[in-house]
Amino acid sequence: MANFNGSVKFSALFGPRDIICDVGAASRDEVIRKVLERLAYDRGIGNVDEAYGAVMEREEAQCTVIAPGVALPHARLEAVAELVVGVATSREGIDFCVEGQAAVKLVIVILVPKDAPGSYLQAVSSLAGLVEDAEAAERVAGLGSAEEVWRYFDRGAVLPEHLCAGDIMSRNVVSVQETDKLEHAIDMFAKHNLVDLPVLDKTGELVGMVSAYELLRVALPDYLLWMEDLSPIMHFEPFVQVLKNEGKTWLADIMSTEYATVPVEAPAVQVAREIARGKAREVFVVKGKKLVGVVTLQGFIRKVLRD
């Protein structure tokens, strides 16, 4: 992961020459190619066709519209030695991913070195204020020159020193309450295809975890786990008691208090350590004691090594 000294502005990654101001209502593909051609001329990003293919492959895998009116197409390339950024604006708007979706008016193309995993997410993290401002894309698209667009970014947006848990976590966390019954947890396991569920108290603080693995272990007698030949008990129904008691069992009574957590500002390497050290399937991300996100092993690999 790239490390920045905490004072590198996002605007330092590009200049007015790397901005195409008001491309009109061109297609998504046309805009991306135009930006890459500009970067090839100004920043030496290598073969435009190869860069275009890499960006479009990533785009087809997952739409990069990250906020209303804002898209961040990106790719990791051998040909670039540092983060490279190009920008295009459109007053009319561009149909980017899904028909009926709000038109994109601000396109920020980010090219990342192959050997700098996670640096894209650091760049995205610096743009959090822009993404959270619903009017930002409209405002930037309305600016009259590339210099004005660049100055807009130069007002702030500092790259973080390192990738942190908050940059790679998923905010869409399925959770249960300690006052819920086991029946509800089983419903959540089945509905969302999960094996672990964080348990919260009434204030939103993380107080435990209930696991489908533990549910199976409770249902199966210890001797059953060691039997090689199950033929003598083919008709044994170990889950009858679970089904009988699922509406009577409080999660507070069966939840585990052993799980991995990190603060939202923890560096990504700490997240990796928690997963590797405890062989955890996920790490819960907290702000104080409040649950704010989760990083799964699969999500960590995808975001850090592929995004």
User: pTM for this one?
Assistant: 0.71
In a domain, 3, yes or no: no
Q: What are phi and psi of 22, to 5 degrees?
A: 55, 80
Report whether 105 contacts 134 (CB < 8 A): no
In a domain, 1, yes or no: no
Q: Report pLDDT for 107.
A: 96
Q: Report pLDDT for 116.
A: 80
In a domain, 5, yes or no: no
Answer with the residue of higher pLDDT: 44 or 286: 286
Q: How many domains does the chain have?
A: 2
Q: Report pLDDT for 234.
A: 61
Q: Report pLDDT for 155.
A: 82
Q: Report pLDDT for 147.
A: 96
pLDDT in tens, 47-106: 999 999 999 998 988 888 888 899 999 999 999 999 999 999 999 999 887 666 778 999
Evaluate if residue 3 carries a pLDDT over 60: no
pLDDT in tens, 226-252: 667 766 666 666 666 667 778 888 999
In a domain, 15, yes or no: yes
Count the neighbouring beta carbons within 10 Å of the beta carbon of residue 98: 9
Q: Are residues 140 and 200 in the same domain?
A: no
Q: Are residues 181 and 149 in the same domain?
A: no
Q: Report pLDDT for 218.
A: 66
SS3 annotation, the chain: CCCCCCCCEHHHHCCHHHEECCCCCCCHHHHHHHHHHHHHHHHCCCCHHHHHHHHHHHHHHCCCEEECCEECCEEEECCCCCCEEEEEEEEEEECCCCCCCCCEEEEEEEEEECCCCCHHHHHHHHCHHHHHCCCHHHHHHCCCCHHHHHHHHHCCCECCCCCEHHHHCECCCCCEECCCEHHHHHHHHHHHCCCEEEEECCCCEEEEEEEHHHHHHHHCCHHHHHCCCCHHHCCCCCCHHHHHHCCCCEHHHHCECCCCEEECCCEHHHHHHHHHHHCCCEEEEEECCEEEEEEEHHHHHHHHHCC
In a domain, 168, yes or no: no
Token digits for 209?
């975890």
Q: Report pLDDT for 126.
A: 83
Q: Are residues 102 and 29 in the same domain?
A: yes
Q: Report pLDDT for 187.
A: 94
Q: Tell me what the pLDDT averaged over the chain comes to.
A: 86
Q: Are residues 153 and 180 in the same domain?
A: no
Answer with the residue of higher pLDDT: 222 or 285: 285
Q: Are residues 292 and 150 in the same domain?
A: no
Q: Are residues 98 and 138 in the same domain?
A: yes
Question: Where is the domain boundary, 161, 189, 224?
Answer: 161
Q: Are residues 148 and 201 in the same domain?
A: no
Q: Report pLDDT for 21.
A: 95
**HSE on the CB side for 134, CA within 13 Å?**
1
Model confidence band, residue 125 (pLDDT cutoffs 50, 70, 90): confident
Q: Are residues 191 and 125 in the same domain?
A: no
What is the C-alpha separation between 38 and 16, in angstroms, rounded? 11
Evaluate if residue 274 carries a pLDDT over 80: yes
In a domain, 88, yes or no: yes
CATH number for 112: 3.40.930.10
Q: Are residues 84 and 121 in the same domain?
A: yes
Evaluate if residue 201 carries a pLDDT over 70: yes
CATH number for 283: 3.10.580.10
Average pLDDT (114-138) is: 81
Q: Are residues 118 and 242 in the same domain?
A: no
In a domain, 171, yes or no: no
Q: Report pLDDT for 129.
A: 75
Q: Are residues 41 and 182 in the same domain?
A: no
Evaluate if residue 6 carries a pLDDT over 60: no
In a domain, 153, yes or no: yes
Q: Report pLDDT for 56.
A: 95
Question: Where is the domain boundary, 122, 138, 161?
Answer: 161
Q: Which domain holds residue 246?
A: 176-305
Q: Are residues 90 and 233 in the same domain?
A: no
Model confidence band, residue 156 (pLDDT cutoffs 50, 70, 90): confident
Model confidence band, residue 18 (pLDDT cutoffs 50, 70, 90): very high
